[in-house]
């Protein structure tokens, strides 16, 4: 996206927000401001990431857009406003943002590893929200199997070292 297109995208974004406000999907409360701020910051960071050769900004931009979408779905009532779901989706969004960054910059295998770890941390919270597992089970499993996180990090570092030597 060229820098001259930023103003066009911002106008479109502002227009969509104002239209959603007119249709009573949004009101300019503090919660909705947070949703709009997440989307706006996500678009700005993605624009920065796509305009730079090092792709910095893609990770943050994708996170803020995912988080904004999560908050928006909670606001509309499609997702319940429960702390365990909020934290679970927060972790999953961090994980997905790392994976998106890895897809654009394949030299950083640690982003894939980090993404998988955060997704694995978030899934139990989401599952507990929908009563698929109990919250106490999460603490029991984590108290026994937490070293798996160290194993995953170590394997990711080894794989990243091999990938760097090959390239």
Segment 142-166, tens digit of pLDDT = 788 888 878 887 887 787 777 777 7
Q: What is the sign of the dihedral through the CA atoms of 148, 152, 155 and 157?
A: negative
Segment 107-148, tens digit of pLDDT = 677 788 888 889 988 888 888 888 888 877 777 877 888 888
Q: Which of 97, 149, 151 is nearest to 124 (CA)?
A: 149
Structure tokens at 61: 């931009």
Segment 27-84, tens digit of pLDDT = 666 667 778 788 888 888 888 888 887 778 888 889 999 999 988 888 888 888 777 6
Q: What are phi and psi for residue 79, nearest 5 degrees?
A: -120, 140
Classify 23 as helix, strand or coil. coil
Structure tokens at 66: 């995912």
Element (DSSP H or E) covering residue 103 = helix 83-104
Classify 53 as helix, strand or coil. coil
Q: Going by C-beta distance under 8 Å and a sequence separation of 6 or more, which residues neighbour residue 55? A: 49, 101, 104, 105
Q: Which of 50, 90, 87, 52 is nearest to 68 (CA)?
A: 90
């Amino acid at each position: 996206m060229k820098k001259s297109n930023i103003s066009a995208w911002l106008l479109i974004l502002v227009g969509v927000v104002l239209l959603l406000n007119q249709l009573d999907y949004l009101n300019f409360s503090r919660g909705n401001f947070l949703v709009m701020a997440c989307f706006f910051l996500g678009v700005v960071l993605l624009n920065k990431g796509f305009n730079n050769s090092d792709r910095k900004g893609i990770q943050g931009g994708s996170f803020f857009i995912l988080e904004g979408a999560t908050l928006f779905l909670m606001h509309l009532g499609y997702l319940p406003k429960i702390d365990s779901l909020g934290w679970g989706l927060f972790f999953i969004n961090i994980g997905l943002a790392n994976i998106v960054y890895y897809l654009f910059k394949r030299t950083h295998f640690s982003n894939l590893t980090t993404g998988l770890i955060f997704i694995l941390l978030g899934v139990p919270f989401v599952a507990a929200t929908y009563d698929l597992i109990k919250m106490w089970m999460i603490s029991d499993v984590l108290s026994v199997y937490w070293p798996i996180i160290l194993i995953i990090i170590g394997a990711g570092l080894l794989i990243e070292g091999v990938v760097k030597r090959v390239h």
